[in-house]
Structure 1
Amino acid sequence: MAGDWIKMRVNLVTNPKVIALSEQISYSGEYQDWSGMHGFIPSIGGTKQDFDDGVMQALRVTRYVVVTALLRFWGYANEHAKDDFIKSLRISDVDEIVGVPGFGRALESVEWAEYDEELRGLRIPNFSEYNTSGHERSAEAKTAAQRQKEYRDRKKSESAVQNVVKTSDVTSEVTRNRREEKRREEVNQDSDKPTRKKSTPIPADFYPNENGVAYAEEKRVILAVELESFRNWHLAKGGTFKDWQACWRTWCDKAVEFGRAGKAPAASESGQPSLPEFMRGAL
């Protein structure tokens, strides 16, 4: 399998040396007989110009014959050449390899091949510059086991990368979920905290609730009298409390403490009930 391919330029057919090769073998009578071109090239009864014109017309086809011959020759060289040299190969052998008469001499004329008399073999100048010989490729070729191992290692590496990405995604999702849970817990904790009441002035229309009225009856305070005093006192003082119902109950307790329970307050000089003594400075 090492010698089943070689590198060739796609525009080789227009290479100047290919054109020179084509012209040289086109003038060869041996090539004309082999290719059947002699029927298109006048050789008897015609002028040299006619002959040259016939060769030039046949040259279009000959260039593709040359490229095909080069493919076969370089493929052979790719298998057998070592250091740009094929031992025991002669110029005439090239014609047999490619199947085109006169091709070896034409190849030598453009310096793409030369016979070495001393080493008794064919030298191909600069061949290894553009091609790797089959021997070198065989030495460098990987075994099936090596290729399989590389494939498994590559798949393992890809799998490891995918696992890292998945782990990263899972970690990010867990972190995101934990943050969301913590945020909900904080919101719930904030909602569970009792709302702290703010101190406010006494409402102008304050009236004790049902518990406050029952508390006043229990303490035997006169509701109408004490309520009016309670309102007037705190409106005048401008005091603030968080729970005015609780403040009312304290007022009732003080009324009992100072003997106000069950008694109407004494009238002041203005004719209005006077405030109990404890209200003058206690609240």
Structure 2
Amino acid sequence: MAGDWIKMRSDLQTHPKVVRILSAMQCDRLRVVGALHAVWSIFDAHTADGMLHGYTLEALDAMVGWPGFAAEMEAVGWLVCTDDGLLAPDFAEHNGASAKRRGQETKRKQGSRKGAPTPRTVPPLSASDADTVRTREEKRREDALSPESAAGAPADGQASATTQAGEACKAMRQAGMASVNPSDPRLLQALASGITVAELSACAADAVQDGKPFGWAIAAAVGRRRDASRVVPIASGSAFRLNRQESLEESNMAAARAFVAEMSHA
């Protein structure tokens, strides 16, 4: 015996199989639902696996007091007549101890969801409110770039580096770069090596044009400074950039000229 209650769908009275039975039996739907309740209660009380041994269609009709009802249940697939008795298909899915546990657990979860607090609905911002939020956000970003926003009083060298980094980031933002970071170690190292704010701003403009990130602009500024240091003057007053092989050849030529000059004075 599985228990003193059975599971029945709330929309059972409009189920297509119920409609087929009431059409065949020429009766109202509530009588069909009541007879189904009686049949499934018998199965729930006397079987654990959906097999009602020893029962026939006629015997079941006698139990519910409605001749021909069991045959109509069989016609719609809610009952199977075998040599051993009557079988309720999918019995374990809808009835039995495990099915009832599942039903109770589902009901409990639904009750928990109904009792849960309803999250507040946040109304959309008006245009003026949205502008205010954006203005505040921009102000916070500006403050983050300012050395005065740092907590405490840093040492003189650190304060100078922080101030210069903040100025560099502001200049790079003015050049069009949206994402900057005044505490980026690469930026601090570049400034410490002598890279100027103007150089970083120029590279930021190029980075924005080419779709490159903040780090690329810093690396470009360092690279251009390094390349500029390798430009050597020539007699005409113009300049050209030497690669490693050219630098070596120029060094050899200079050594040769010095040797010839020394020999001519000997």
- Is the structural similarity TM-score above 0.5? no
TM-score of the superposition, structure 1-length normalised? Answer: 0.33
Q: Which has the larger radius of gyration?
A: 1
TM-score of the superposition, structure 2-length normalised? Answer: 0.35
Return the structure number with greater relative CO, CA threshold 8 A, min gap 6. 1
